[in-house]
Each structure stands twice: as structure tokens, then as C-alpha cells.
């Protein structure tokens, strides 16, 4: 199935490879008093000694950030220069069944990267810099108790044949979070000691500091991949796709389970040829060891009307790819917002075609689920 062409060819936009200093030049830290008074909060502040600290009553209620439409003009600057410290008050694990068996309580929210399709800004309103939750001991203690209550996994499922899998990065990118705090290191260490469970997170950033955390097979990293032509437009401030692919073998050797997220799949003129090229690149690059343990998720693009309007204010070229009324239909999300996704027939054909491309060019890559 070839998608109808957009009005113009695939746009290009500069997206330099980020370094930690480019991603984060924190000048303002908004912090709840309890977070400031915690050991983890003090550790984070020590990493950014020159930052101004502004006390706030709630990490969700910061007028300078949340709901401030003026931040559209400062979208990337806010992510670079702002950090929030808070306390995670609701500790619950939600059942999932796709990327993981359970969604773990967040240890962070928001991101220093700026992917144009990210759903987190829909919740936080015009700005989503990193929020670090400092009560890490409470969160890891909750996870240990939750894992213990599950017992041994009774039967295999598409998530994992043996272990209960907990997504620890639903609302953030853990590879970037690890530049800010030791929360990710503490989570990897926690799951290293849980023989019936694994941590899991998706990432678009190669943080080689994670190679030293000794996960012993109990953490699954899912590197998100798409054709470079798309990534250079919509994956703003992320590691280049080739760098992510080149990192896979190193992370496998370091003791991680490494899966691949083929997402989001953006339907536009020439998408099939570019995905075929990406899959051949994977086949040529990855070692036999990496291929033997690999699996993939396939996720076609879901966008959002409000985010479309925000993007027009700071990165309109992305919307040439993401906003396709000729192919998309509205969908009411669980939180009541209006998202848009490809029409049922278009989506079904796109999933089928990508499955065929994987079978042809990377037959070793098991697809765990596709939607």
C-alpha cells in the first residue's frame, strides 16, 4: 500500500546530534519544598549549581510553565533551561499488556528532547521540561512489593515469556533522565534483584553512561527507530538513527535486553522504500547475538489536534508529515482529548505492509505487536 503523497516532498530541517550540554543548560529549577529537602533533590541541585531555585507548591501548578501559550515561542529553550523537582504522590502500577505488563509509577515526567509527535505536552500544556520525582526510595519500595504480589508469571505472553515487565519510562526518556539524577540507576539496580520481573523503557537518546549499570538481563531498552528522512524532521534534539542502531550491540554486550520500536510509522510518499532501507541497515549492522534476542513493536503515528496547533507555532515543517487530514480520522482518547490517527483501512494496510517489509528484509526480527 502506498500512501497518497503530501502536497510537497519530505521536508528537511536541521537536527544536530545533541550532547548533554546542548540538551541541558539548566538555569531555573522549580521545586516543591519536600523535594528540595530530600537527598535526591539535593543531589540533583548539586549537578546544576548555578541554577536559580524557585519554590512552588505543586509541580503541576507552575504558571510560568503550564498553560502558558507564550512558551510556544520558547519551546526548546524551556526544555533546555528548566527543571522541576517534585514528589510522586500517587504510587500505582497500571496494567498494560502491550509494551509491558505493567506501567510503573513515574520517576520523571517530561523530556529535554522535543519530538514533534510527543503526547506528554498534551497533558502539561505548552511546556514539558523534565520533572524529577525525588522520592525514589518510596517508588522502588512500592515496585518491590508489587512484583512480590504477582508471584511467578503463570504463562508466556507477547510481552515476555517468563518475566513480568514494568515500563519505567512512560512519560519520559530514561536515557535523558539519567543525565539529571540517579533515579534510573536505582531502578536498574532494583530490577537486577527481582528475578521474576524486568524493567523496560523506550529511548531515542544514546547515553553510554548506562552501559556501566550492570543490568544482568533485567532491563529491556527499546531503541525507537524510523527512517532518517523522517527522524531529521520530527525527532528534534535526539540521537541520530544510525547512532541508535550502532549502540545496540554495545548495550546487548553490557547485559541489557535490547528490543526495537519501529515507531512512529509515518505514512507519506516513499515511506515503504525508506523503511526497507532502514531494515536492511539493521540486518547489515547488528550482530548475531543482538538479532537472536531482538523483538519489535510497530506503532503507526497517532497525533493530536491541540499539539498540531502548538507545533505550527514552533516547528511547522513537522506538520507537513504529521498532519494528514486526507488519511486521518479523529479518535477520542481515554482522557477525553481528541487525537487523530490514520483511518482504519489506511492503518490496516500500513501495518500489513510493514510486516511484509520486516519479513523480507529482517526476517529474524520478531514483531511482538503492531497497531
**pLDDT greater than 50 at residue 335:** yes
Q: Dump pLDDT digits (tens) for 9-46.
A: 344 443 444 445 579 999 999 999 999 999 999 999 99
- What is the spatial order of strands in the sheet that 338-342 belongs to? 302-304, 338-342, 328-332
Task: Write the CB contacts of 83 (distance below 8 Å, at least 6 apart in sequence).
Answer: 24, 26, 28, 29, 30, 44, 48, 51, 129, 130, 131, 132, 180
pLDDT > 70: what percent of the chain?
Answer: 90
Q: Dump pLDDT digits (tens) for 135-185.
A: 999 999 999 999 999 999 999 999 999 999 999 999 999 999 999 999 999
What does CATH list as the number for 20-370? 3.80.30.30
* Domain residue limits, the chain: 20-370
The three three-digit cell numbers of residue 371, written as one number: 497497531
**pLDDT greater than 60 at residue 2:** no
Amino acid at each position: 500500500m502506498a500512501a497518497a503523497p503530501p502536497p510537497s516532498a519530505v521536508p528537511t530541517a536541521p537536527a544536530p546530534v545533541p550532547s548533554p550540554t546542548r540538551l541541558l543548560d539548566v538555569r531555573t529549577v522549580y521545586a516543591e519544598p519536600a523535594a528540595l529537602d530530600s537527598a535526591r533533590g539535593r543531589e540533583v541541585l548539586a549537578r546544576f549549581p548555578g541554577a536559580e531555585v524557585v519554590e512552588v507548591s505543586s509541580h503541576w501548578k507552575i504558571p510560568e510553565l503550564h498553560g502558558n501559550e507564550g512558551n510556544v515561542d520558547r519551546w526548546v529553550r524551556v526544555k533546555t533551561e528548566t527543571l522541576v523537582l517534585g514528589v510522586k504522590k500517587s504510587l500505582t502500577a497500571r496494567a498494560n499488556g502491550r509494551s509491558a505488563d505493567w506501567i510503573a509509577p513515574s520517576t520523571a515526567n517530561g523530556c529535554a528532547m522535543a519530538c514533534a509527535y510527543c503526547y506528554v505536552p498534551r497533558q502539561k500544556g505548552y511546556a514539558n521540561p523534565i520533572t524529577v520525582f525525588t522520592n525514589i526510595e518510596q517508588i522502588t519500595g512500592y515496585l518491590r512489593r508489587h512484583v512480590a504480589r504477582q508471584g511467578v508469571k503463570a504463562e508466556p505472553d507477547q510481552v515476555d515469556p517468563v518475566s513480568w515487565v514494568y515500563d519505567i519510562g512512560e512519560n519520559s526518556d530514561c536515557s535523558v533522565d539519567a543525565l539529571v539524577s540517579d533515579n534510573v540507576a536505582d531502578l536498574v539496580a532494583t530490577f537486577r534483584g527481582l528475578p521474576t520481573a524486568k524493567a523496560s523503557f523506550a529511548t531515542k537518546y544514546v547515553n553510554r553512561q548506562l552501559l556501566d549499570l550492570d543490568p544482568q538481563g533485567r532491563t529491556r531498552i527499546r531503541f525507537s527507530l524510523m527512517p532518517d528522512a523522517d527522524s531529521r524532521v520530527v525527532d528534534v534534539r535526539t540521537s541520530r538513527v544510525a547512532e541508535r542502531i550502532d549502540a545496540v550491540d554495545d548495550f546487548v554486550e553490557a547485559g541489557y535486553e535490547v528490543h526495537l520500536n519501529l515507531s512512529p510509522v509515518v505514512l507519506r510518499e516513499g515511506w515503504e522504500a525508506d523503511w526497507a532501507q532502514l531494515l536492511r541497515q539493521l540486518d547489515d549492522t547488528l550482530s548475531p547475538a543482538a538479532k537472536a534476542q531482538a523483538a519489535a513493536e510497530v506503532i503507526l503515528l497517532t497525533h493530536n489536534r491541540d499539539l498540531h496547533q502548538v507545533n505550527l507555532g514552533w516547528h511547522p515543517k513537522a506538520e507537513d508529515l504529521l498532519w494528514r487530514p486526507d488519511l486521518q480520522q479523529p479518535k477520542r482518547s481515554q482522557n477525553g482529548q481528541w487525537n487523530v490517527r490514520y483511518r482504519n483501512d489506511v492503518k490496516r494496510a500500513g501495518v500489513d505492509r510493514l510486516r511484509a517489509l520486516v519479513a523480507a528484509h529482517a526476517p529474524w526480527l520478531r514483531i511482538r505487536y503492531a497497531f
